[in-house]
Structure 1
Amino acid sequence: MQFLHSADSVRYQRMTNAELRESFCMESLFERGALNLTYTDVDRAVVGAAVPTAQQPLSLPTHKELASAYFCERRELGVVNIGGAGVVVVDGKEYPMEKFDSLYVARGSQTVTFASADDSAPAEFYLVSYPAHRVTETVHIPLEKANRVELGSIDGSNERVICQSICPGVVDSCQLVMGITRLASGSVWNTKPPHTHRRRTEVYLYFDFPQDERVFHFMGQPHETRSLPLAPKTAIASPHWSIHSGAGSCNYSFVWAMGGENQQFDDMDHLKLGDLG
């Protein structure tokens, strides 16, 4: 397990781009045949990825820093597959996972294993976990079962579909809210207008765009924003004091995951573009 020590809103103002990457970005999560985890101090979120082969499934380990007998002893886990077909096995029960399917793994789940259906197109499981205060129920959410919200316009370069998969009304989670946003061809802006929400933190994972393209992720306090160009399959943690928005050199998709005081998706403190410094 790796560890991400994020900066506060004061130190952030004096950091170089390289220091910002070291403090907020997770750039090497997806590795064939491996399960990689990063423990962040942004609400104690654990962010990771599992890329199993068909012959060699991967099991979710615990770690000394979790002080638990198994990973989900006191944690909930959200899983989104961004690769080929696969399966997640939770305490002996199999959950087939197509691309864009989600799985909510409840606190108390003792064994979690990941497998791919085809080595030539392995599953790529993206993982986000937050501490959980109660036991709920493990739920598989196929893409078609997620809440679908269409926002933006081509004229505004932000036509997008939001698929809310782990959220109130779909899954009874503790604090985790998670889903996928997919931008239409010709659109590049996400999270427009920008916003903050001091009641919760967020993690973005950008994917589904060519390796030589970039998404420019905007972060920081509204009066002093910075941008980082991110390659595909880069995750970035957003503390409660930071905006989290982006513009790409082409259209792309991203997984968003939130943890904190409020699970309502629309609980945002909106900003006008003219408010940004």
Structure 2
Amino acid sequence: MGRILVVGSINQDLRAGVERLPGPGETVIGRSLDRSAGGKGANQAVAAAVAGAAVDMLGAVGDDDAGRGSVAAMAAHGVRVEHIAVVADEPTGTAIIQVDDGGENSIVVIPGANHAVSEADLGPVDGLTAGDILLLQLEIPLPVVAAAARRAAAAGARVVLNLAPFAPVDADVLAIADPLIVNEHEAAQLAAAGLDAPSVLTTLGARGATWADLYVPAEPVEVVDSTGAGDSFCGALAAALAAGADRQDAMRAATAAAGRTVGHLGAQPPAGG
């Protein structure tokens, strides 16, 4: 089984429960407020570890309680955290999330220490080998994402890139990704930007996912909170691929993981859950 190195974001999530999401200029009364560990990178690392993979996380947090809590949450799920830097002059990244009664959400991310991740931190990427996977997203500086992808490919590792939140990425980086994971909105943005990739996996929410000529449906589930479903998909997919699964079996595992995630509050499961 190959190793997985996740290079990406680590956040604290501040989540407000609301009856419905507010429109522009509108105020609604919230029903609840809670705080939990999050960030696309951290969420995907936890999902991969929960799926049984050997996972290392590379990222940055602030020297604050939020950062210490986020790192502890990852470690509690079995993620190795030795490559997480503590940044003295930036707070840990924060996501402000509104979740309505139907489980839909809207999210604002303040990067904080995530923007301190630099190419100088990418030494562990060079230690990857054939059979290993580098898992990336776009909540850290784009030049760092591109450099990590190129260095992992040069080392013989597989690169899985989640193009979220959407941003234009160099064509050679898109070509490296196997797969490039997008949701339907990101797929449309990719096409609108005139960009393409040879290996594109599109998640379809409750309808499942497609990867080239393959389609895997999702099982019906009760949605409590859709936050982190895409991240769980990415992490579980990477874990299955690292274990040698073919594309269809990897998609099935990923779709099932996403279904479990929408059944609980928060992007990451409780420790031991």
How does the TM-score come out when normalised to structure 2? Answer: 0.30
Structure having the higher strand fraction is: 1
Greater relative contact order, per chain length (Cα 8 Å cut-off, separation 6+):
2
* TM-score, length of structure 1 as denominator length: 0.30
